Amino acid sequence: MKKLLLRMTPLFLILIATGAHAALIWDSIDSALPKGGATQVTYEIPYNGGEFFNWDTPFYLDSFRGNIAAINNISSQLVGMNQKNYTSDAKASLTSIAGGSTLENGFSNTLGSTLNYSDFDETDAMMIRQQPISSSFRNFTTTADGTATIEAEISGATDFFMENFDVTTGQAINPMAPYFGFTIASTTEVISFSKTQGQVSATFQSIKLDNVTQAGTISMELSSDPDIYYVLRTSLTLNTYISNEILGSDGTVIPLADQTFNIGEWINSECTTPLALSSSVTMATPIPGSLLLLISGMGGMVTFNRRLRKTTGS
């Protein structure tokens, strides 16, 4: 009996491991999303530029309003570039990226931006804003009722110092001085839908992250009802702001030292490690009753065998 139990122990462990996690079936409904497809992404760069002008020379306005990547082209990466010499000396180079990729149990939204400027003197003014956005929708169903764990985390290096900047408003604290700063905003949420009735409820579970809060975890009850499916919706938005013009003044400009600002890690104009929002959904369920009954039965057999040996030996 002991040898039998020893041989069956690995099987018990495997059964427990597989039974402890309900199967989440990703991308299971091909037409679940508004524009078709099981997974839908949108990569945008609405802003990658701003106003540059010199009070001794003609006014320069060079705002870049970006593009939207092809829907469902998950592997694509949107790149916005804006490079220009604004005077004989002053120049700036701005690049923003937006992309993403699927994870085993969720999605990763990725962004990055880099800005380099030089030779902006007491007559060269700028008001710069960069804004890449990555958002996604991915549907799934579950094979068992239970509690799901929804996790979200922001990772990635930033080389962008803050000065005279309020991250809650995205504006200068003191309008009479230059400001430098960036804001991060993300949302990870799971919404339940009925195949026959549409969105089941207007309320849903959501995690919101920002410059201060970089990770979060929530739980949500899921149903294996064949009429119910779920959508993991994620979004990551980055804003960078720089201005050396004194707001409300008549052309007062504060000279700026040459500077490079990076969100994400950049090497040779390429973002090697972007800012990333990783969102995942996992689900644990109790060990199946049939497995518990089997283990209990085997334990009973061991006890009975021991008592029988004692009785026989006596």
Q: Is the domain of 12 the same as that of 123?
A: no
Closest CA relative to residue 257, chosen from 113, 110, 90: 90
Residue type, 85: N
Range of the domain at 193: 23-286
The distance in angstroms from the start CA to the end CA of the chain is 20
Q: Is the domain of 247 the same as that of 173?
A: yes
Q: Is the domain of 200 the same as that of 253?
A: yes
Residue type, 88: S
Q: Is the domain of 265 the same as that of 141?
A: yes
Task: Give, as one character, the DSSP assignment of residue 291.
Answer: H
Q: Is the domain of 11 the same as that of 108?
A: no
Question: What pLDDT, on the 0 to 100 scale, is given for residue 290?
Answer: 57
Q: Is the domain of 4 the same as that of 74?
A: no
Q: Is the domain of 244 the same as that of 299?
A: no
Q: Is the domain of 298 the same as that of 222?
A: no
Residues 70-112 have pLDDT tens digits of: 455 566 677 777 766 666 677 888 889 999 999 999 999 999 9
Supply the pTM of this predicted model. 0.81
Q: Is the domain of 170 the same as that of 203?
A: yes
Q: Which helix (H) or strand (E) holds 29?
A: none
Q: Is the domain of 116 the same as that of 238?
A: yes
Please classify residue 107 by burial: count the beta carbons closer than 10 Å to its beta carbon, then call 0-12 exposed, 13-18 middle and 19+ buried.
Answer: buried
Q: Is the domain of 145 the same as that of 237?
A: yes
159, β-bridge pairs: 262
Q: Is the domain of 153 the same as that of 15?
A: no
Task: Give, as one character, the DSSP assignment of residue 23.
Answer: P
Residues 243-274 have pLDDT tens digits of: 988 766 666 788 888 999 999 999 988 999 99
Q: How many domains does the chain have?
A: 2
